[in-house]
Chains A and B, each alone.
Chain A
Amino acid sequence: DVKVTQSSRYLVKRTGEKVFLECVQDMDHENMFWYRQDPGLGLRLIYFSYDVKMKEKGDIPEGYSVSREKKERFSLILESASTNQTSMYLCASSLRAGKGYTFGSGTRLTVV
Chain B
Amino acid sequence: AQSVTQLDSQVPVFEEAPVELRCNYSSSVSVYLFWYVQYPNQGLQLLLKYLSGSTLVESINGFEAEFNKSQTSFHLRKPSVHISDTAEYFCAVILSGGYNKLIFGAGTRLAVHP
Q: With the chains together, A8 CA to B8 CA distance in Å?
A: 32
We find that the number of chain B residues with CB closer than 8 angstroms to chain A is 26
Interface check B65, CB cutoff 8 A: no
Question: Which segment of A17-25, A63-71, A78-86, A100-108 sits at the interface?
Answer: A100-108
Contacts of B102 in A (CB 8 A): 33, 45, 92, 94, 100-101
Interface string of B70-114 (1 = CB under 8 A from A): 000000000000000000001010101011111111110000000
Contacts of B67 in A (CB 8 A): none
Number of A-B contacts (CB under 8 A): 59
In the complex, 24 of the A-B residue pairs with CB atoms within 8 angstroms, ordered by the A residue number, are A33-B101, A40-B9, A40-B106, A42-B90, A42-B106, A43-B92, A44-B104, A45-B101, A45-B102, A45-B103, A48-B99, A90-B43, A90-B44, A92-B102, A94-B102, A97-B96, A97-B98, A98-B51, A100-B34, A101-B44, A103-B45, A104-B43, A105-B43, A106-B43
Residues of A participating in the B interface, judged by any CB pair closer than 8 Å: 31, 33, 35, 40-45, 48, 50, 56, 58, 90, 92, 94, 96-98, 100-101, 103-106
